[in-house]
Chains A and B, each alone.
Chain A
Amino acid sequence: MTVRSAPPHSTTSAEEAIVFVVDDDASVRQALSNLFRSVGLQVETFGSAHEFLQSTLPNAPSCLILDIRLPRLSGLDFQAELAKADIRIPIIFMTGHGDIPMTVRAMKAGAVDFLTKPFRDQDMLDAVTAAIERDRNNRDEAKAHSDLQALFAALTPRERQVMKLVTAGLMNKQIAAEIGLAEITVKIHRSHIMRKMGAKSLPDLVRMAELLAIGPTSGRPQT
């Protein structure tokens, strides 16, 4: 699965993970903040979804802990709102008893975990660690993806054309015939492409092409 993670507010590139807590209950906010601080995690708390949306989010691996019952904008609505705004942050829901239907909806909408209040501290920390790890991966992937795109963009139009055909599995000769070039010219383009894209081998380049969603066979749009 390819996830495009591009927080709109990202300004810095701090690497320290941060936990966001949104709960209307001040005691719960304080308690969670205390817990995360005790294990050395950075934490920021918000009384409402609105407050969270108003703030500037740092460019760091993070996760969101959300009470499923929020006044005005409920946790589920908030989740949908974030998705609409293309903010792809892993969400851990906190639920009360008897909120199973809502939990199911939350999970279907892409929540990474849910915990029932009162929860065990280790469960919460595990969930948060996993979510942050996931976000970090997402971010790495996204970074790699964007780097790849930059490299691809740096290719000449001819090279891009050749790369599509190479990664589609065509032989040099076939490519030369296809675009009306000498086979030797195709070879030169090919070596340029390998160097510019930083590909170590042909399978590597094929993987990159897949990530970039180029080529006639791998044009499946990613969500």
Chain B
Amino acid sequence: MMRYPTMSLSRSAEQWLLGGMTLALATTACIWLVLAPAPTAPAYFVAIALLVASLAASLILMRRVGSSQRRMEAVLQGRTKAEERAIEALRNSEAQWKEVFEHNPVMYFMVDAAGTVLSVNTFGAAQLGYSVDELLGQSVLRVFPANECKAAQGNVAVCLNNIGRTHSWEICKVRKDGSTLWVRENAKAVRLLDGQPIVLVACEDITERKQAENALRQSEMYLAEAQRLSHTGSFGWCASSDELIWSEETFRIFGFDKAPSIKRATVIQRIHPDDRARVLRTTKRALSDWKDFEHGYRLLMPDGSVKHVHVRAHAVKDRSSGIDFVGAVSDVTVRKRAEAELHEAQMNLAHVTRVTALGELAASIAHEVNQPLAAVVTNAAACQRWLDRTPPDLTEARGSLQAIIKDGNWAGDVIQRVRALANKNSEQRAPLDINEVLNEVVSLVQHELFRYRILLRLELPPALPLVLGDRIQLQQVVINLVINGIEAMASVADRPRELIIRTGLDDAGQIVVTVKDCGTGLAAENAERLFDAFYTTKSGGMGMGLSICRSIVAAHGGRLSALQNSGAGATFQFTLPLHVEGSPP
């Protein structure tokens, strides 16, 4: 603007030219008037008039020319300004793009077919710890670690082979200081105007994402490893599609190939047929109640083996994910097997102690068998005498025979009972009348009671509810407690030796069996250790009795406890849960 000063106040050349011409004309006219023969007056006046008119015309023209020129100038001036503005805008834009190019948080590289850096933005260079000049003209391989160079070259080659197509990849780069960073590169080869191909590369730093990914991968790996080690898989159950989403370990446990999801119907087929209905009941109830659930069942694997699993599931409150239950499934086969082995060992030990106890009771048992035997022999002799009479007394003989049958059966029952106790039979749970169980063993300890001159008081109220238990094991517990009570009273001389066996119901509605003696009682320091294995206060004891009794009672869902009486002696008592109709034995 300053370079084109305005001319609006001065006269333009055209005006000067026009004015000059008018002046020359006026001068000519004046000369003609002065030098020429005097004209006639009219001609003179005409000449004067012409002169004035030409002067006037020149003045008007001068003004016109001036104004049109000013308009022209104004137009010209406006055009120049617009141009200037455009140039300015262009310049700004360029600067802006330059800024963008240089500082956009994306690294831009332009390399030629040989891999030489033709251009790099400041951000890109700075990210790698270089200045732009340090990289220009250098091989691009300089920013790659040795192990990535081959990949980098390959990537460039791929771009060059597919000019115009965009490729992207993730690669590791090395900074000037030697540290590395992960980048994602988008690259495209283009031809310059001269036909030379170059590769444009834009890369973004993905180190953080990569680290997060690595951390996630590691965490997943740890999780998978932990699941594998603990034999616990996880699952999600989507009820609407009836699909399950499993972890790798869950697939392994169930023996299916890994898949994104699996149909529940497929899985149910793998459940042991004996457990299937129960599992379905549990899950159906959990679904309708929308509650957490927990259950254990068996799997029948294709190879015929059986696995035990334990499942705990949590009802998901937020159903937006489409998952209704999440849970964990544990392969507890090994534990179950160990439990079974432990159980068997316990049963064996229980058997040994039972047989030992029976040994102690041998005299008592012999007496118990001897009684009916004596009755049988005597009745048989009497029968013979009734028949030998003349005439034979058949009614009495028949009566004798009936008595023989009764007594024979009784002896048989006793032997059966003893044999059952001595047998190493497997556990058999059945609904039992606890009083009946007690009565059966009480007869076996009669001799011991007699030997130690002990009065047995039985307080067995009739019509107690049934318990679910193993008759032999419960009898073993009672025998043990009774023998303990008898032995505890062996040294008592100053009071009647009384042993009370009592049954009843406690406040919780469980059956309670109490064996109370008035013997030496429990020393406070021994009370805690009473139920420990191998703990005994007897010189000949193995110390297994009470320990086994406690595990037997515990296996029945009850509890065996001992307490010192307020008077003399001790009371042992155990609880047993009632048999619930319809519950599996």
Compute how far the CA of A97 lies from the CA of B377 in the bound complex, rounded to whole angstroms. Answer: 16
Residue B53 CB within 8 A of the other chain: no
**B406 near A27: Cβ-Cβ < 8 Å:** yes
- Chain B residue with minimal CB distance to A25? B371
Binds A, one of B134-142, B173-181, B378-386: B378-386
Residue B367 CB within 8 A of the other chain: yes
Residue B464 CB within 8 A of the other chain: no
**B453 near A74: Cβ-Cβ < 8 Å:** yes
**Most chain A beta carbons < 10 A, residue from B378, B410, B449, B453:** B378
Residue A117 CB within 8 A of the other chain: yes
- How many pairs of residues, A versus B, come closer than 8 Å at their CB atoms? 90
Main secondary structure of the interface of B (DSSP, over half): helix
Across-interface contacts of A97 in B (CB, < 8 A)? 363, 366-367, 370
Residue B373 CB within 8 A of the other chain: yes
Residue B407 CB within 8 A of the other chain: yes
Compute how far the CA of A35 lies from the CA of B388 in the bound complex, rounded to whole angstroms. Answer: 13
Residue B372 CB within 8 A of the other chain: yes
**A34 near B403: Cβ-Cβ < 8 Å:** yes
- Report the minimal beta-carbon distance from B449 to chain A, rounded to whole angstroms: 8
* Complex partner residue of A34 from B399, B410, B450, CB under 8 angstroms: B399
- Chain B residue with minimal CB distance to A32? B378
**A27 near B370: Cβ-Cβ < 8 Å:** no
* Complex partner residue of A117 from B374, B386, B400, B455, CB under 8 angstroms: B374
Given that A39-B385, A121-B382, A124-B378 are known contacts, is A30 also in contact with B450, CB under 8 Å in the complex?
A: no
* Complex partner residue of A31 from B363, B375, B385, B453, CB under 8 angstroms: B375
Residue B396 CB within 8 A of the other chain: yes
**B455 near A35: Cβ-Cβ < 8 Å:** no
* Complex partner residue of B386 from A32, A38, A122, A124, CB under 8 angstroms: A38
Count residues of chain B with CB under 8 A from any CB of chain A: 32
* Complex partner residue of B450 from A39, A69, A119, A121, CB under 8 angstroms: A69
**B370 near A34: Cβ-Cβ < 8 Å:** no
Compute how far the CA of A32 lies from the CA of B374 in the bound complex, rounded to whole angstroms. Answer: 9
Residue A219 CB within 8 A of the other chain: no
- Chain A residue with minimal CB distance to B453? A74
* Complex partner residue of B374 from A69, A72, A118, CB under 8 angstroms: A118
Across-interface contacts of A32 in B (CB, < 8 A)? 378
Chain B proximity mask over A99-121: 1 for CB below 8 Å, otherwise 0: 00000000000000000011111
**A35 near B385: Cβ-Cβ < 8 Å:** yes
Which residues 395-409 in B have Cβ within 8 Å of A in the complex?
A: 396, 399-400, 403, 406-407
**A30 near B377: Cβ-Cβ < 8 Å:** no
Which B residues are closer than 8 A to A by beta carbons?
Answer: 363, 366-367, 370-379, 381-383, 385-386, 389, 393, 396, 399-400, 403, 406-407, 410, 447, 449-450, 453, 455
Query: What are 18 pairs between A and B in contact, CB < 8 Å?
Result: A27-B403, A27-B410, A28-B374, A31-B382, A34-B378, A34-B383, A34-B403, A38-B389, A69-B367, A69-B447, A71-B450, A98-B363, A117-B371, A118-B370, A119-B378, A120-B377, A121-B381, A124-B378
User: Beyond the given A27-B375, A74-B453, could you list 7 further A-B residue pairs with CB under 8 A, ordered by the A residue number?
Assistant: A27-B407, A31-B379, A35-B385, A38-B386, A74-B450, A98-B363, A119-B378
3 tightest Cβ-Cβ pairs between the two chains A and B: A121-B381, A31-B378, A118-B374
Which A residues are closer than 8 A to B by beta carbons?
Answer: 25, 27-28, 30-32, 34-35, 37-39, 69, 71-72, 74, 94, 96-98, 117-122, 124
